[in-house]
Amino acid sequence: MNRSRPTFRLARHALTALTAFAASAALTSAWSADTAALERWRSYSGVTWEAGPASQGAPAAAFRNSVNAPIAGIHFDAKDRAFVSTPRLISADTPATLSLLDTSVDGGPARLAAFPSETGNATNAAPALHLRNVLGFHIDRRNGWLWALDMGFVAGEAEAPAGGQKIVVYALATGRVVKRIALDGVADRKGSFLNDIAVDEGRRVAYLSDSGLRSAPRNQAAIIVADFDSARVRRVLSQHPSVMPEAGAKVVSHDEEVWPGNPLVLGINGIALSPDARTLYWTVTTGTKAFAIDTAALRDTKADSARVAAAVRTLGDVGGNTDGIVTDAQGRLYITDVTRNGIVRYDPASRAMTLIAADDGVFWPDTPTITTGGDLLFTASRLNGHFAGAVKAGSERYDLWRLRLAR
């Protein structure tokens, strides 16, 4: 795929044991500065929406179609409640696409409670008023809100119904809808793939990644800027090279190409803001580079496309394919590396890009988040295998991994 991948595909290239040992030692040193290695914090054999709280000793039978409801996104509110997304990309029959997760339980199916309710997640009701297919969402601790990004379409639909593509802002305390922001005007109902969301909580401005997966290989990829107060939305950097799949790139996980014969062609995916919200970061899954831009350029409604494009800068090569990203309180950027089964850190001060942790037990690291305690937590549910139909019912494993960050 690129010049960096062969270094991490040792067996395939039949390098000597000595070379492999040296590479392993060098890789280990890359994250030795951190206080702890990756640990599998929670591991679930599917999901359920039927079991009562674990404290009541209720039985936990997995949802009948649990294999088609992998956990993708995860974020915590100020009370340490864990919210997760189970996107309806493989099957549309899950009771909810956004839920609360009972993290007091480890093992068995993950105990979920629909947020704001199962009715609020209904797919057979008005598309503009109900959550249909959520992958990315944001916990807004400053305002006490949850911003849910609804892709609009569900499995089996060739396009999103009118009104289905939207942002829904909820009050965390009550589940009440604070605001809905329609996205049909800036997202294509057939070709868009509304992937992730980052929110400037002070200015109440959201930045969305449209991967354009459903319009591959000429992905209708872009960044969407949504203003809460005015509900105005704008599409920027549409099909700019920084948001598009990298030409000739392949996506590799555990030394195997993802979906050979029908390769994954995914544009901009993970998106995150610096703590001061002055810088927006993003990565492209079918590629290995990370990018950034000053958000002032994106918020300037008078700037033409050439001016915005000129403000994009390349941070460097991550070293592998990527999915989710997040920044910590110190402004360091953490990127999930699906090729090397770990976490890469980018330090804006030194501009260093470093693989800080990896584990062969990690299958497709997806959404990373910073917990209230300051640790990095991310989901790994072997999404590529689920979407290819390679995971058999009863063998699904939805893991939450933790990395204790140096303070």
For residue 16, is pLDDT > 70?
no
**CA dihedral (42, 199, 271, 224) positive or negative:** positive
Give the pLDDT band (50/70/90) at residue 57. Answer: low
Please provide residue 286's backbone torsions phi and psi, each rounded to the nearest 5 degrees.
Answer: -85, 75
- Which pair of structure tokens corresponds to residue 277? 């919200």
- Which pair of structure tokens corresponds to residue 167? 């942002």
pLDDT in the model for residue 58: 64
DSSP 127: T
pLDDT in the model for residue 60: 80
pLDDT in the model for residue 178: 98
Q: 3-state class of 55 per DSSP?
A: helix
**Residue-wise pLDDT tens digits, 84-109:** 999 999 999 999 999 999 999 999 99
- Contact between residue 42 and residue 399 where contact means Cβ atoms under 8 Å apart: yes
Structural domain containing residue 21: 5-403
pLDDT in the model for residue 56: 62
d(CA 195, CA 285): 11
For residue 270, is pLDDT > 90?
yes
**Residue-wise pLDDT tens digits, 208-266:** 999 999 999 999 999 999 999 999 999 999 999 999 999 999 999 999 999 998 999 99
DSSP 116: S
Give the pLDDT band (50/70/90) at residue 27. Answer: very low
Nearest Cα to Cα of residue 282 among 236, 247, 249, 234 = 236
d(CA 223, CA 258): 25
pLDDT in the model for residue 298: 97
Quick one: the chain helix, strand, coil %, rounded to 5? Answer: 10, 35, 55
d(CA 333, CA 322): 13
The continuous run of DSSP H or E covering 280 comes out as: strand 279-284
> Residue 371 CB: number of other CB atoms within 10 A?
17
> How many Å is the Cα radius of gyration of the chain?
20
pLDDT in the model for residue 13: 35
- Tally of structural domains, the chain: 1
**Residue-wise pLDDT tens digits, 362-399:** 999 999 999 999 999 999 999 999 999 999 999 999 99
Greater confidence, 19 or 330?
330
Mean pLDDT of the region 340-354: 97
pLDDT in the model for residue 59: 65
Mean pLDDT of the region 5-24: 32
For residue 9, is pLDDT > 90?
no
Mean pLDDT of the region 316-334: 97
Least confident interval from 48-57, 137-146, 210-219: 48-57
44 CA to centre of own chain:
19
pLDDT in the model for residue 23: 39
> What is the CATH classification number for the domain harbouring 205?
2.120.10.30
Residue 17 neighbours by CB under 8 Å, 6+ apart? none
- Contact between residue 305 and residue 236 where contact means Cβ atoms under 8 Å apart: yes
By DSSP bridging, strand 166-171 and strand 134-140 are unpaired
- Which amino acid does the sequence have at 31? W
Mean pLDDT of the region 325-347: 97
Question: How distant, in Å, are the alpha carbons of 201, 272, 298, 314, 373 from that of 293?
Answer: 18, 11, 8, 9, 29
Q: Tell me the pLDDT of the chain averaged across its residues.
A: 90
Residue 394 neighbours by CB under 8 Å, 6+ apart? 45, 67
